[in-house]
């Protein structure tokens, strides 16, 4: 048997999203949480086939649109990567909104509109994507997408984690997932592409150590727990940016984009330290050199924790439309896991 799966790929800041548009089984469940659980239990082989070689690569993300129980959402969205099914993905929302609008997947814009809003339900909560449209010849394209994220908050500041014989201090914050944020000077590894193997190893070790000593739980949703990634921050290269960063997930996957959801977590830390630019954008630079711009849109509480409502703006570009074939006789039908 040969199963065809059709996708549209896009990238935001150099990080790829592969959005499945046909051939993927419909996740089962009345709520998005139930569909997320179904995908984690039953979607492993298809997830691996889409994001691992020979059809993908280990650092990419895939997504599938699904039904939402929320009356305000246009659709639910579930993300997949080489490790599993993350609760949300900032660059993925920017890319998915761009694909959905430019390919009219479930939304038709009027010719005189200069922008439009899509609302996605993610396992982490509702994410709003406001797309700004621009005229390119005879067509309107998505120029940028501003996402209003789930509330971001600090879980623990200056948390000690032991890596081998030394101790590092990390700030743990939530921005759609929990991140351990560490200064590269303290880590002793510069933010340079040539040092990615070292950053990958250290990021994985930091996540493991943080989960062993301070494994966080979301106060409003017990299904979201544990540090999902380490964000290394350092001085920017771009004169417009305030910080440069790279994210390494707990399994060692690398995000070279500025990481929109991680940007929300970094903003929560900076705000708690009194270092967030008041009334001005916080500009975050990824290892790829791309930028996102974050703004504080409001303040709220999550449990007993002060939290920020952040807006993070970035751009995405469609890179291709593909039909992948999963052949039962192919020895690498489910991808290669090195």
d(CA 322, CA 316): 18
Q: Which of 66, 85, 89, 207 is catalytic?
A: 89
d(CA 36, CA 43): 10
Angle, to 10 degrees, between the axis of helix 90-102 and the axis of helix 260-272? 140
The yes-or-no answer on residue 89 being catalytic is yes
CA 127 to chain centroid: 12
Angle, to 10 degrees, between the axis of helix 44-51 and the axis of helix 32-42? 80
Q: Angle CA(68)–CA(58)–CA(247) in degrees, nearest 5?
A: 80
DSSP codes, 130-162: EEEEEEETTEEEEEEEEEEPSPEEEEEEEEEEE
CA atoms within 13 A on the CB side of 252: 11
List the catalytic residues: 89
């Amino acid at each position: 048997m040969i199963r065809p799966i059709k996708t549209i790929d896009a990238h935001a800041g150099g990080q790829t999203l592969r959005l499945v548009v046909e051939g993927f089984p419909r996740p089962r469940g009345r709520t998005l949480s139930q569909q997320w659980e179904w995908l984690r239990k039953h979607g492993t082989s298809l997830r691996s086939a889409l994001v691992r070689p020979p059809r993908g690569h280990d650092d990419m993300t895939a997504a599938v649109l699904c039904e939402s129980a929320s009356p305000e959402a246009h659709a639910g969205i579930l993300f997949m990567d080489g490790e599993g099914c993350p609760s949300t993905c900032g660059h993925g929302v920017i890319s998915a909104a761009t694909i959905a609008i430019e390919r009219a997947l479930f939304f038709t814009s009027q010719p005189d509109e200069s922008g439009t809003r899509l609302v996605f339900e993610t396992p982490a909560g509702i994410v709003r994507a406001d797309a700004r449209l621009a005229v390119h010849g005879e067509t309107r394209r998505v120029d940028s997408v501003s996402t209003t994220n789930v509330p971001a908050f600090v879980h623990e500041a200056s948390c000690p984690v032991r890596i081998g014989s030394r101790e590092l201090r990390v700030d743990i914050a939530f921005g759609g997932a929990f991140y351990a944020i560490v200064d590269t000077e303290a880590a002793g590894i510069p933010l340079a592409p040539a040092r990615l193997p070292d950053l990958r190893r250290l990021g994985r070790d930091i996540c493991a150590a943080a989960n062993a000593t301070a494994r966080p739980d979301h106060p409003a949703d017990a299904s979201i727990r544990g540090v999902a990634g380490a964000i290394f921050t350092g001085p920017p290269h771009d004169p417009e940016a305030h910080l440069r960063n790279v994210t390494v997930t707990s399994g060692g996957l690398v995000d070279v984009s500025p990481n929109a959801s991680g940007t929300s977590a970094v903003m929560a830390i900076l705000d708690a330290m009194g270092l967030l630019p008041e009334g001005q954008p916080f500009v975050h630079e990824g290892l790829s050199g791309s930028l996102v711009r974050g703004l504080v849109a409001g303040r709220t509480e999550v449990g007993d924790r002060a939290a920020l409502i952040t807006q993070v703006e970035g751009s995405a570009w469609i890179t291709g439309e593909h039909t992948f074939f999963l052949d039962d006789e192919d020895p690498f039908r489910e991808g290669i896991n090195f």
